Amino acid sequence: MTIERPALAVFDPKNECLPVSALRDLQLERLKKVVRKLWTRVPYYRQKMKVVGVTPADLRKLEDIQKLPFTTKEDLRLCYPYEAFAEPLEKVVRIHASSGTTGKSTVVGYTRKDLDTWSNVCARFLVAGGLTSKDVVHIAFSYGLFTGGFGLHYGAERVGAAVIPVSSGRTERQITIMKDFGSTALVCTPSYAIYLGEVMHNLGVRPGDLKLRVGFFGAEAWTDRMRAEIQEKIGLFATDNYGLSEVIGPGVAGECVHQDGMHIWEDHFYPELIDPDTCQPADPAKGGELVLTTLTKEAIPLVRYRTRDICSLRREPCPCGRTGVRMSKVTGRSDDMLIIRGINVFPSQVEEVLLEVKGTMPHYQLVVSREGALDSLEVRVEVSEDLFADEMKKLHEMERTVERKLENLLGLRAAVKLVEPKSIERSEGKAKRVVDLRPKE
Ligand code: DLL
């Protein structure tokens, strides 16, 4: 079937199409304000600045941002739960969280103005990808601490569309709702979109039976081949959007109807690219790790946050008129975080669970594969000699215990397989904790 490109529209032309020189002035003015606020309100970051010997007064031009220390997920973990907040809790009206590298999650707060900003930046990419106030938006992201559901929800409402907060799961019911309610826009992870397409096919529901016309997919990496498959299987025009909880949630960047890179909303987020090994600036065209500074966030302003996402940046003009630099698809991570069905998983979290279970050894491996459209995780764990010699029933019980604990911590079901001592390959250097069998392209 032929997929029609939606009409070109801009949600906030004044700010999305700012000439670059005006954008630079605005960014510098906002950056100075953010750094001053962090210096006066967040002792943790002030201390970091003192260590490298910079003060807010050292920030005279935009490039001076390179004098400032980076912020990492580990910093936010150390500030758990509220120490990174630059506003008192009484000004905070929403709290979300995402998984941390170990134990504690990273907690993020929003003031009323932050929620307003968040709705606007989400509305921007929704309009950029073709959403209008006439649409009926089916949101299949989970609603909860994850920022996907609420972010897209308020963004779509801001556009004036009719929002159906379906949340995740119960795929057949999702299809019934799409059919009965006449959903015209779909919001979920790209892998779930492919799965939905497969279930539709199995149920005999053809794309033409639904009114879907546009889809907004994000929260995990996907390829152009997956885009083609989604467009074909579900019959809609699919765009990519990017974000992360620490920075705001979804709404950092999104594709326009030209489907050629995601515009970063640079009046709100200042992007840099660095070489993850040296931390020095990287050639934007060649790619590197994306580092983001929030320019307007009140509750948790972040300076030079290391996203660990690898991408490249392109400044050439886009036919849509937006001036925001375009980021490529995320091609990898500079740490070991995996995203499985939209859920962020660190191998260290698995290790933490294993430490609680007597008889397991510190040798384990995460095997990620794709069954049909969806990713699955198997955790292979070595057990001690005497335990392995035990009866099968006991081993199975132990597998179920680890599975339960993992599901509790990660919010993801993993299959646990206990294996013989010394059966997981040893490596000379860093242990190979992850075997990723998912197709790359
Ligand atoms: O995934 C926010 C989000 C929700 C974005 C819905 C888009 C749509 P976190 O759970 O904190 O937040 O995970 C952030 O997900 O650092 C990337 O590694 C990855 N990610 C997000 N969007 C994309 C994308 C949300 N479009 C982490 N392509 C980020 C590739 C993405 N990776």
Q: 188-213 pLDDT, tens per residue?
A: 999 999 999 999 999 999 999 999 99
Ligand 1 centroid to residue 221 C-alpha, Å? 8
pLDDT band for position 363 (50/70/90)? confident
Ligand 1 centroid to residue 205 C-alpha, Å? 30
| Ligand 1 in reach of 309 Cβ (< 6 A) | yes
**Which candidate, 308, 441, 434, 440, places its Cα nearest to that of 377?**
434
Q: Is the pLDDT of residue 429 over 80?
A: no
| Ligand 1 in reach of 250 Cβ (< 6 A) | yes
Ligand 1 centroid to residue 310 C-alpha, Å? 12
Output the pLDDT for position 360.
86
pLDDT over 70 for what percent of the chain? 98
* Ligand 1 atom with least separation from CA of 262: 26
* Ligand 1 atom with least separation from CA of 243: 5
Q: 264-291 pLDDT, tens per residue?
A: 999 999 999 999 999 999 999 999 999 9
| 87, 298 contact by CB (below 8 A) | yes
* Ligand 1 atom with least separation from CA of 216: 8
| Ligand 1 in reach of 242 Cβ (< 6 A) | yes
Q: Is the pLDDT of residue 428 over 70?
A: no
Output the pLDDT for position 388.
81
Q: Is the pLDDT of residue 392 over 90?
A: no
Ligand 1 centroid to residue 150 C-alpha, Å? 14
Region 398-410: mean pLDDT is 93
pLDDT over 90 for what percent of the chain? 84
Output the pLDDT for position 132.
98
| Ligand 1 in reach of 98 Cβ (< 6 A) | yes
Output the pLDDT for position 389.
82
Q: Is the pLDDT of residue 101 over 80?
A: no
Q: Is the pLDDT of residue 45 over 90?
A: yes
